[in-house]
Amino acid sequence: MAEDSAVRLHNIGLSYPDGTRVLENLQVEARPGEMIAVLGPSGCGKSTLLRLVAGLLSPTEGTMRREAPEDRLGFVFQDPNLLPWANVADNIALPLRLRGVAKATRREVAAHWARRVGLGRDLHLRPHQLSGGMRMRVSLARAFTVDPELILFDEPFAALDTFTRNHFNEELLRLKAQAHWTAFFVTHSVSEAVFLADRLLILSGKPARLLDVVENPLPAPRNHTTRESLVFQQRVGDITAMVEKTLPHDEPAA
């Protein structure tokens, strides 16, 4: 592995035990502190790719190397996976509880991250009392409690309205500037990918092959005015055209 890579996928192929072929000949290297957006049609294998990087799945072919140890890995799953009987604070602090962190510290960390995701007043609520977007925010906060070196985001903001999503995108870049984690960020939104990512992986349909890796030259700092800029809109247009080519002809682009 190149010394400065945080994750390296080498010639990865993956078939599920039932024979479903999902990933084929993937070569990806993430640099430390880099945010990589992953775009590709529904069902192509994006969530599978994240599970593989997390070590929850093993490749059928090739090798995956990851710098971040398991206990510094944050995973925001596509499905928020909350414990139904536990309140917001306890759901956020779950990874700390599993590691035996003392209750007072768990409370403090949960309250901090709940505030960062706009749930500071909702610590006592249980999952059935939350909206879909609020559940996703709990899941987001939970990923940060482990002081992550690497975070895997699986469409974390898909359930949010555009304004809230934009706000969270900006907040995410602020967090990243403070903490320097590496991230893979799966999304179906090209504008979200262009706003957030340093590079974009464009995957083909099933089995997912790497169609393109695009450097994102959008200048920093990126903030709410960035989306109005011509360079941003041109970038979104270019990437949308590339992603459209990955879709079956009878399926319109999102």
Residues that bind ligand ATP (CB under 6 A): 16, 18, 20, 22, 40, 42-48, 78, 206
CB of 105 to ligand ATP, least distance (A): 34
Span of 29-37, 44-52, 57-65, 199-207 interacting with Mg ion by CB under 5 A: 44-52
- What does 5 bind: ligand ATP, Mg ion, none (CB cut-off 5 to 8 Å by kind)? none
Span of 51-59, 75-83, 133-141, 212-220 interacting with Mg ion by CB under 5 A: 75-83
Q: Work out which of 6, 24, 35, 47 binds Mg ion, going by CB under 5 A.
A: 47
Q: How far is CA 20 from CA 23, 40, 43, 247, in A?
A: 10, 17, 11, 19
- What does 233 bind: ligand ATP, Mg ion, none (CB cut-off 5 to 8 Å by kind)? none
Helix (H, G, I), strand (E, B) or coil at 61: strand
With CB atoms as reference, the residue minimizing the distance to Mg ion is 47
Query: Is there binding between residue 189 and Mg ion (CB under 5 A)?
Result: no
Helix (H) / strand (E) containing 243:
helix 230-244
CB of 26 to ligand ATP, least distance (A): 12
Span of 53-61, 71-79, 98-106, 145-153 interacting with Mg ion by CB under 5 A: 71-79
Helix (H, G, I), strand (E, B) or coil at 128: helix
Q: What angle do CA 207, 211, 216 make, to 5 degrees?
A: 135
For ligand ATP, the closer CB: 91 or 246:
246
For ligand ATP, the closer CB: 94 or 201:
201
- What does 45 bind: Mg ion, ligand ATP, none (CB cut-off 5 to 8 Å by kind)? ligand ATP
Residue 21 burial class via C-beta count within 10 angstroms: exposed 0-12, middle 13-18, buried 19 and up: middle
- What does 176 bind: ligand ATP, Mg ion, none (CB cut-off 5 to 8 Å by kind)? none
The size of the chain, in residues, is 254
Phi, psi of 249, rounded to the nearest 5 degrees: -65, -30
Span of 29-37, 76-84, 173-181, 195-203 interacting with Mg ion by CB under 5 A: 76-84
For Mg ion, the closer CB: 45 or 74:
45
Site size toward Mg ion, by CB under 5 A: 2
For ligand ATP, the closer CB: 39 or 140:
39
Rounded Cα distance, 236 and 245, in Å:
14
DSSP 199: E
Task: Output Rg (C-alpha) for the chain, integer angstroms.
Answer: 18
Rounded Cα distance, 53 and 7, in Å:
8
- End-to-end Cα distance, the chain: 36
**Residue type at 12?**
I
